[in-house]
Amino acid sequence: MFHFLQKHIQEIINPTDDEFEIIQSFFVKKKFRKRQFLIQEHQPVHEIFLIEKGILKSSIIDSSGKEHILQFAASNWWISDFAGFFKQETSSLAVDCIEDSEVYALSYEDLNLLCRKVPVMEHFFRVKSNFGYVALQQRILSLMSKTAKERYEDFIKQYPGFTDHIPKQLIASYLGVSRETLSRLYS
């Protein structure tokens, strides 16, 4: 059952069997249906989620009611409102499922306790946080300085194989373009 979790962690560190017993005891497996919310806006953010199956997104609704998508995530990715989680404030983002999904949830208290009990996990989460930062930096530079066509190419590169699974309307919202502009980029 926890084979997926073990493999994911072993991409970065190599815990002993005893350490892995402790690690897996902190994670809670959860299933969500398509369109179900893991995090809703303006609520406390209790958990971060490692995705085993499915596709999810994080997004914000602006004052005019329009949805802006920050990130998509699929198997082997983490998702949450990390700002709300790390600052232990209420969420700015919503996180919901584009497909039925299975995730491993880790609470804020458990993340910190786990790092104290199994110190190699501190290294694991530092590296993960660094790469999360890298992904956001690329997203921000893309938004600030690139054309719609270049942003679409970045999307294809960052999310290989996602295009078939994500409704075009959501891809348009991620790119910040209209559905019509997106159609032109496809051709």
Site of interaction with a second copy (CB under 8 A): 60, 62, 66, 68, 70, 82-83, 86-87, 92-93, 115, 119, 122-123, 125-126, 129-134, 136-141, 143-146, 176
Minimum CB distance to a second copy smaller for 75 or for 92: 92
Find where tokens 């194989």 sit.
Answer: 161
Report the alpha-carbon distance of residue 38 to residue 145 in Å, rounded. 32
Min. distance of Cβ 33 from a second copy in angstroms?
27
Min. distance of Cβ 3 from a second copy in angstroms?
26
| 122: its two tokens | 């501190």
Q: Which of 137, 134, 114, 1 is nearest to 48 (CA)?
A: 114
Minimum CB distance to a second copy smaller for 101 or for 142: 142
Minimum CB distance to a second copy smaller for 7 or for 123: 123
Find where tokens 């921000």 sit.
Answer: 140
Residue 37's alpha-carbon distances to 56, 94, 143, 152, 176, in angstroms, are: 9, 7, 26, 26, 22
| 136: its two tokens | 């956001």
Min. distance of Cβ 136 from a second copy in angstroms?
4
Min. distance of Cβ 126 from a second copy in angstroms?
4
Report the alpha-carbon distance of residue 43 to residue 179 in Å, rounded. 31
Minimum CB distance to a second copy smaller for 29 or for 139: 139
Min. distance of Cβ 9 from a second copy in angstroms?
15
Minimum CB distance to a second copy smaller for 29 or for 128: 128
Report the alpha-carbon distance of residue 57 to residue 138 in Å, rounded. 17
